[in-house]
Amino acid sequence: MSSTTPLLELDGIGKFYGNIIALQDVSTAVSAGKVTCVLGDNGAGKSTFIKILAGVHQHDAGRFLLEGNEVRFDSPREALDSGIAAVYQDLAMVPLMSVWRNFFLGTEPTKGIGPFKWIDTKKAKRIAKEEMAKMGIDIRDTEQPVGTLSGGERQSVAIARAVYFGAKVLILDEPTSALGVKQSGVVLKYIVEAAKRGLGVIFITHNPNHAYPVGDRFLILNRGQSMGSFQKDEITVTELTQLMAGGAELEQLQKDLEDAIASKGVED
Amino acid sequence: MSDEYVSDAAAATTRMAADRQAGDERLAYRGVFQRMLTRPEIGAAIAALGIWVFFWSVSVPFGKAGGASSILDVASSPLGIMAVAVAMLMIGGEFDLSAGAATGALGILTILMVREVVGASGGGWGLSLWIALPLSLLAALGLGWFNGTVVEKTALPSFIVTLASFFVLKGAKLGYSKLILGQQQVGKLDDLQSVSAFLDDNGTSVTVFDPYGMEEVFIPDGQEAFQVVPPVIDIIEANLDAGADAFAGLDPSVFEQGDKGYGFMVDLFAAEWTRNDHVWDGRDWFYTIGIIAGLSLFVLALYEMHFKRSDTQNPTGLPIFGGGVALATVGVWRLHATDSVAGNWIGALVILAGMFVSFVGWGMWRYRRRASTEQSMDAMASEVGDAESKTGVIIAVGLGIAAFVGAIVVSLWLDAGDSNKFAEKLGISGVGLPAVSLVIGIGVATLTRGKDFTAGGLGWFTSKGWRTFLPSIIIGFVVTMLFFDLTTQQGARAIFFVSLSSLAAVGLMTGVRRARKHSQPLGSALLIATAASVAVMAFFVQSESGSPKFRTQAFTLMLVIAALMAIWAAASLLFEARSAPDHGADRFGVMMALVGSAAIVVGIASRLLFVTTAELEAEIPQAKFSVRILWFFLFTAVCSWVLARTKFGSWTFAVGGNKQAARQVGVPAARTKTQLFMLVSFAAWLVGLLLAFRLNNIQASTGDGEEFEYIIAAVVGGTLLTGGYGSTIGAAIGAFIMAMSVQGIPSARWNSDWRFVFVGAILLLSVVANNFIRTKAEAAR
């Protein structure tokens, strides 16, 4: 891969549900070892964006380039096979199943001949434990059900899983939204860790304070429209926040809020 | 410490190794019993044991070979095989209400495929069984595929879709058999049983030779023999009677059909093992050794999962272990060499001594010794602390012993008055035992909670476990009292025995656990005291019970339980318990437990399958075992393996637990679910064949409505109605529980209609118990 070709490139991507425009004319790029942050308020089209990348939905307009070649995924499996792994907000984990089973779910290592194949549980447990250790998490008992782990630990299982299965591009959907301050910091550390290991990371969030420290490139979405894609040196965290809420709209909102407070004072 | 993770792990895991030694503060260590409680089938296994003891104590034929054969028969097919398949589907998050109707439908379909076109009522296709079986299997898989695909494509709840399938199947069965055959049953499969027929030289009469010897006919010379199935003979005879050509209207090919594979298939699906035809005098050797070895392996498995492995294995333990095993073997030999009471006693004692020695040897070999007992005693003294709580314990234990002795004295006194008051006596002594446990519990609670004697005791009595456990005992008691004939001694005895002994057991174990939390020696001492009181109870039962069966067998059972408790208590004193997980040891323990179960199964099977000459002379009743039981075991084993060890099993849990998540990580969710539906219809096909070859005729209504029994068996076995959690072995045990109620209630001479009340109560209780066990297990993590 030449350094000039980004790992993944989107050019004018659009998605329509009937007459509703969910996403229109969105362009950005993800390079190996870099973190691209996708920011947007609720309803900005972040979910649609991630689902197109992960192969759950298909784009209706624009071009989707993977290592310079135009692609189109019909299923999450295809996207996974091409090296695009998504870690969803709801984590794609089965709470009642053990850590190692969740880690290898869908791609279990097997032993045996022909139709008589069984899971190599010993290997699976060992790898799950080692991979978690590489992310700096010590899962003591891989037989523990995932439902008993904390939110941050679950995130780490999901990220370690994606990294282990040879993901080239890792998509993280709001990984910090349900976490406390400390746990969020831990997850942000994993994001940097994953990028250091040569992955292209797409970090989707509505919190610019989480995005700015780790991001190399920022794509801002608002109401299904791209508000621009910026390098880190082109933008500050304040501008980021402004753009996210839609600049002018935010000013309008501020004015409305002031009016409301003023009128409240009159009524009193 | 030999541990696979540590030995081959990368640098990053070295820290974990250090952690292992130090103990991970984030994860509370769960003891072996708590770990067992997280298994879904454990509740059902305990319930099955309790129900078995209940029926065994109230009914004479129950528990004998004949009773066991009919229980196995009812449990295996259709119920067991279907329950296992339905449990897998339920784990995958779906239901199949057409499963019951499908069993009958697929049996009828198979019979129709092989029925002779030339038969009296017609309607068949006349295929060979070798073709018909794969064809009906295809039809079965098609049905499963249809159910699965419709559920997946429409995203409708599966019970609606399969309810529709149920009505379609039911209607098709009824409509077809009435329209074409004019009757509500489809048969007869045994028409395929080929016979030799002989036509005399003149062609005026036909002689039939029955290969099964029921109607042997002399065959004169010069007759022409041909192999043919009975309907063809009917036609030949009819032709002869009418004075026509014997073979008029018959296709020549009917003489070349043979039995179409019937002889082979009937052996495969309906062979029977007749117990009284198989004499083996060495059987009881096998039985005794199997049971003793199996129980010992269970105890050693508990050892392995409970104690801390020592860093250096002590080789002197091994010869001691071997010596113990040899001693136990000598004991078994003594037991069989003698018929005298004293000889039996000596044999039993030698066996117990051998077991004890071998357990100690095994422990010395593998586990770390505790710090010296003297030190522990000191620690105990300092832990017990102030004098007031010490006094509390002494008072409590003293009161308990007094209550126990009092109960026995009162019973003996009653005995002197009226010898028919067994139930009352047992009631009072039974009250005595829980009283001991209660008082011990109060004492221990006082010990652990400080000075306040009453508050401690009340705290124990109102703790959550009791609040859940007591009502279920009371409900069970009231239901049994209301619906079964309590005026007989049997009923009273069973209720007292089961409810009070479980009450006492829970009470005592609570006391022991609390004491152990505080101090190991105190816990062990209490456990030994408990064992002693169980032994006293055993002698009491032996001398007082009116039923000979109850007297000897309950006596033996209680003594063995007491011995195991004492052995466990002694081992806990000698060896150090684990405080961190050790997966290597756990695996070894599980393996030992599996080998132990196998030994027990072989032991029991040898007793069930063979008779001794002495039994034959005593003319014991006949018992037959069907090959259906083997099919059931095989199916359960394969399904359990698939569920636990294959990708498909993992995916089954995943699609039931969180379908969306499973799809997102690339599990083919729709395919997995469809395959689960196909598994259920495969099971229905198998059950249909088993029914067809056993009964030869299948009623149009066969299987209708039984799907709920499959679901109940699965739920009783610990499978969640919401999917994602459960066990096929649990479902098999659930089927046993249902079968025990089918067989046990009539054999206890109650009206068999009460069975449904029993099933309902069991269902409710098991759901409550499973929920309780699961939340407790989850909370303990």
Dihedral (Cα; B726, B729, B732, B733), 10-degree rounding: -90
pLDDT at position B135: 94
3-state DSSP call for residue B268?
helix
What local confidence, expressed as pLDDT, does residue B103 receive? 94
Please give the Cα distance from A105 to A93 (Å, whole number): 9
Closest by Cβ to B650, choosing from A54, A108, A117? A108
Q: Give the chain A residue nearest B14 (alpha carbons).
A: A133
Interface membership of B13 toward A (CB under 8 Å): yes
Q: Do B499 and B477 contact (CB within 8 A), yes or no?
A: yes
Q: Return phi, psi of residue B605, to 5°.
A: -60, -40
Residue A88 has pLDDT above 60, yes or no: yes
Q: Do B658 and A144 touch (CB under 8 A)?
A: no
Q: How far apart are CA B317 and CA B324, in angstroms?
A: 11
DSSP codes, B739-781: HHHHHHHHHTTS-GGGHHHHHHHHHHHHHHHHHHHHHHHHHH-
Nearest to B657 among A97, A119, A126 (CB): A97
Is 60 exceeded by the pLDDT of residue B441? no
Q: Could you write out the three-class secondary structure of B542-604? A: HHHCCCHHHHHHHHHHHHHHHHHHHHHHHHHHHECECCCCCHHHHHHHHHHHHHHHHHHHHHH
How far, rounded to the nearest angstrom, does the alpha carbon of residue B78 sit from its chain's CA centroid?
Answer: 16
The reported pLDDT for the residue numbered B595 is 93
Residue B276 has pLDDT above 70, yes or no: yes
Residue-wise pLDDT for B136-158, tens only, equals 999 999 999 999 999 999 989 99
Which residues of A fall within a CB distance of 8 Å from B725? 96
Lowest mean pLDDT segment, chosen from B139-143, B266-270, B776-780: B776-780
Burial pattern A118-151, b for ≥16 Cβ within 10 A else e, equals: bbbbeebbbbbbbbbbebebbbbbbbbbbebbeb
Alpha carbon of A38: minimum distance to chain B alpha carbons (Å): 21
- Nearest CA to B541 out of B566, B526, B559, B561 is that of B559
State the average pLDDT for chain B: 74
Residues of B in contact with A88 (CB under 8 A): 661, 664
Contact B9 A138 (CB under 8 A): no
CA distance B305 to B299: 10
CA distance B425 to B412: 8
State the CB neighbour count (10 A cutoff) for residue B216: 11
Q: Residue A42 pLDDT > 70, yes or no? A: yes
Does residue A226 have a pLDDT over 60? Answer: yes
Nearest-CA distance B473 → chain A (Å): 30
CB contact under 8 A, B661 and A118: no
Which one of A82, A97, A171 would you mutate to disrupt binding with B, by most B Cβ within 10 Å of its Cβ?
A: A97
B724 interface with A at CB cutoff 8 Å: yes
Task: Test A93 with B666 for CB contact under 8 angstroms.
Answer: no
Is pLDDT of B631 > 90?
yes
User: Which residue in this structure is represented by tokens 């756990």?
Assistant: B586
CB contact under 8 A, B667 and A140: no
Q: How far apart are the first and last CA of chain B?
A: 25
Position B626 pLDDT exceeds 80: yes
Q: Say if the Cβ atoms of B650 and A122 lie within 8 Å.
A: no
User: Of the given ranges (B27-41, B48-62, B452-466, B750-764), which has the lowest mean pLDDT?
Assistant: B452-466
Report which of B472, B475, B477, B505 is spatially closest to residue B491, judged by C-alpha positions.
B477
Contacts of A91 in chain B (CB under 8 A): 661
- Partner-chain contact B9 A92, CB within 8 Å: no
- B195 or B755, which is more confident? B755
Rounded CA-CA distance B570/B572 in Å is 5
Taking the Cβ of residue A134 and every Cβ of chain B, the question of whether any pair is shorter than 8 Å is answered with yes
User: What one-character DSSP code corresponds to residue B237?
Assistant: H
Averaged pLDDT for residues B614-619 = 81
pLDDT at B616 over 50: yes
The first and second tokens of residue B446, run together, are: 């006082």
Whether the Cβ atoms of residue B661 and residue A94 lie closer than 8 Å to each other? yes
CB of B661 within 8 Å of a chain A CB? The answer is: yes
Residue B436 reports pLDDT greater than 80: no
Enumerate residues 749 to 778 of chain B having a beta carbon within 8 A of any beta carbon in chain A: 778
Least reliable range by pLDDT among A215-229, B238-252, B715-729: B238-252
Is the four-CA dihedral B4, B5, B9, B11 of positive or negative sign? negative
pLDDT per residue over B651-673, tens digit each?
A: 999 999 888 888 877 788 999 99
Partner A contacted by B422 (CB < 8 A): no
Q: Can you tell me the distance from the alpha carbon of A97 to that of A147, in angstroms, rounded to the nearest whole number? A: 8
Q: The sheet that has A8-17: what strands, in order across it?
A: A69-70, A61-66, A8-17, A20-30, A225-231, A217-222, A35-40, A200-205, A169-173, A84-87
For B371-400, b/e burial (b = at least 16 CB within 10 A) is eeeeebeeebeeeeeeeebeebbeebbebb
Q: Is B663 on the interface with A (CB under 8 A)?
A: yes
Longest dimension (CA), chain A: 82
Q: How far apart are CA A226 and CA A206, in angstroms?
A: 15
Please list every residue in chain A whose beta carbon sits closer than 8 Å to the beta carbon of residue B718: none
Nearest to A94 among B10, B15, B724 (CB): B724
- Residue listed under structure tokens 């209550």: B403
**Interface test mutation site (partner A, options B36, B665, B675, B725, max chain A beta carbons within 10 A):** B665
Q: With contacts defined as CB-CB under 8 Å, which chain A residues touch B10?
A: 130, 133
B762 or B401, which is more confident: B762
Q: What average pLDDT is seen over chain A?
A: 81
pLDDT, one tens digit per residue, over B61-113 is: 777 777 888 888 888 888 999 999 999 999 999 999 999 999 999 998 888 88
Listed residue (B411, B412, B408, B413) closest to B425, CA to CA:
B411
Please answer whether residues A72 and A58 qualify as being in contact, where contact means their C-beta atoms are separated by less than 8 angstroms: yes
- Look up residue B136 and give its amino acid: S
**B4 neighbourhood in chain A, CB within 8 Å:** 122, 126
Of B676, B667, B708, residue with least CA distance to B144 = B676
Report how far residue B232's alpha carbon sits from residue B238's, in angstroms, rounded to the nearest whole number: 10
> Rounded to an integer, what distance in angstroms lies between the CA atom of residue B477 and that of residue B469?
12
A97·B661 Cβ contact <8 A:
no
pLDDT band at B501 (very low <50, low <70, confident <90, very high): low
pLDDT at residue number B127: 79
For B643, nearest residue in chain A (alpha carbons): A118
- % residues pLDDT > 90 (chain B): 18
- Vertex B308 angle, CA A122 and B532, to 5°: 125
What pLDDT, on a 0 to 100 scale, did the predictor assign at position B522?
65
- Tokens describing residue A129: 């434990």
Is A88 at the interface with chain B, CB within 8 A?
A: yes
pLDDT digits (tens, 9 = 90+) for A114-125: 778 888 888 898
Tens-place pLDDT, residues B3-60: 434 334 344 344 444 444 333 444 556 677 767 767 778 778 888 887 887 777 667 6
pLDDT (0 to 100) of residue B374: 47
Read off the tokens for A128. 């799950």
Interface of A with B in 228-257 (CB under 8 A): none
What is the residue type of B356?
A: F
Confidence of residue A219 (pLDDT cuts 50, 70, 90): confident
A126 contacts chain B (CB < 8 A): yes
Contact B661 A126 (CB under 8 A): no
Residue of A nearest to B584 (CA): A122
All residues at 6 or more sequence positions from B154 whose CB lies less than 8 Å from its CB, including other chains: B161
Question: Quick check: bond before B78 cis, omega within 30?
Answer: yes
Contact B446, B457 (CB under 8 A): yes
Res. B553: pLDDT tops 80: no
* Reported ipTM: 0.74
Tokens found for residue B528? 């030994």
pLDDT at B697 over 80: yes
Contact B646 A118 (CB under 8 A): yes
* From the candidate CATH numbers 3.20.20.70, 3.40.50.620, 3.40.640.10, 3.40.50.300, the one assigned to the domain spanning A8-94+166-267: 3.40.50.300
CA torsion through residues B772, B773, B779, B780, sign: positive
Query: Using 50, 70 and 90 to split pLDDT, how confident is the model at B417?
Result: very low
Cβ neighbours of A108 in B, within 8 Å: 647, 650
3-state helix, strand, coil in chain B (%, to 5): 75, 5, 25
Which of residues B548 and B328 earns the better pLDDT score? B328
Q: Does B662 touch chain A (CB under 8 A)?
A: yes
Gap from B641 CA to chain A (nearest CA, Å) = 9
Q: Which residues contact A149 (CB under 8 A, 6 or more apart)?
A: A99, A157
With an 8 Å Cβ cutoff, is A120 touching chain B? no
Q: How far apart are CA B184 and CA B23, in angstroms?
A: 69
**Which of A86, A93, A133 is opposite residue B12, by nearest beta carbon?**
A133
Closest B-chain CA to A85? B665
> Structure tokens of A116?
């008589």
**Predicted confidence band of residue B221 (pLDDT cuts 50, 70, 90):** low
Predicted pLDDT of residue B445: 52
Six token digits for residue A204: 């989707």
User: Is the confidence at residue A93, as pLDDT, over 90?
Assistant: no
Helices (H), chain A: 46-54, 76-81, 99-104, 121-134, 151-164, 181-196, 208-214, 237-244, 248-267
Domains of chain B in start order, with CATH, are: 42-188+620-780 (1.10.3470), 194-258 (no CATH), 371-574 (no CATH)
The answer to whether the CB of B409 falls within 8 A of the CB of B455 is no
What is residue A30's three-state secondary structure?
strand
Give the Cα separation of B324 and B320 in Å (integer): 6
Whether residue A165 lies within 8 A of chain B, CB to CB, comes out as: no
Which of A94, A111, A137 should be substituted to probe chain B, the one whose Cβ sees the most B Cβ atoms within 10 Å? Answer: A94
**Partners of A112 in beta bridges:** A117
Residue A166 contacts B where some CB pair is shorter than 8 Å: no
Model pLDDT for residues A198-210, shown as the tens digit of each residue: 888 898 888 888 8
Between residues B699 and B439, the one the model is more confident about: B699
Q: DSSP class of residue B128?
A: -
- Most B CBs within 10 A among A96, A120, A130, A132, hence the mutation to make, goes to A96
State whether residue B16 sits within 8 Å of chain A by CB: yes
Tell me the pLDDT tens digit for each residue of B160-185. Answer: 999 999 999 999 888 887 877 777 77
Judge whether residue A181 has pLDDT over 80.
Answer: no
Angle between helices B669-695 and B99-114 (to 10 degrees): 60
The CA distance from B14 to A72, in Å, is 44
Measured distance CA(A46)–CA(A220) in Å, rounded = 9
| Extended beta strands in B477-527, E state | none
Range B237-241, long-range pairs (CB < 8 A, 24+ positions): B237/B206, B240/B204, B240/B205, B240/B206
Maximum average pLDDT range among B339-353, B504-518, B530-544: B339-353
The one-letter amino acid code at B519 reads: S
